[in-house]
Amino acid sequence: MMLNKTVKEKTKPKRQAQAHKPILIQKGTPLPNNGTCKHYGKSYRWLKFPCCQRAFPCDTCHDIEVAGTHETLRANRTICGFCSTEQPCQSGSGGVVCVSCGKSMIASSSGSHWEGGRGCRDPIKMSRKDNRKRRLK
């Protein structure tokens, strides 16, 4: 004898693509997470893209959000993560400093890497066979 059992299939509701609510950016108030995202945790700024006139924490977040709906152009404006001031993109090795609050929008490096011949290499702890031991002074 066969028993007919009706098995109720548990179906998960399909996850619909959630459109992110536009964030109201008010000058003088910090951005969410001070402008950082999961891709760049030390960048305290958002980028405003001329292709869609929208601001995103990084270019990767922009590409994920627009998902090929338009061609991505390079961002030409930045928004400070601490005070939400919109300003032109700065370039150069001097770092990116907000013109309004004066804070750095990029976290400084810890200085623990070999930088310019100095770095964190302690001559006392180095092997005497290392030819760079004497060059540090």
Parent domain of 56: 22-107
- Give the pLDDT band (50/70/90) at residue 20: low
d(CA 24, CA 104): 22
Query: In terms of DSSP bridges, do strands 45-49 and 54-56 run parallel, antiparallel, or are they unpaired?
Result: antiparallel
128 domain-assigned: no
117 domain-assigned: no
Q: Does an H or E element contain 59, and which?
A: helix 59-66
130 domain-assigned: no
Averaged pLDDT for residues 49-68: 88
DSSP bridge partners of 26? none
Q: Is the pTM of this model over 0.75?
A: no
121 domain-assigned: no
Q: Residues 6 or more apart from 81 whose CB is under 8 A from it?
A: 30, 31, 33, 34, 35, 36, 43, 44, 45, 46, 105
- Give the pLDDT band (50/70/90) at residue 129: confident
How do residues 71-116 score in pLDDT, each as one tens digit? 888 888 999 999 999 999 876 545 688 888 989 888 876 555 555 5
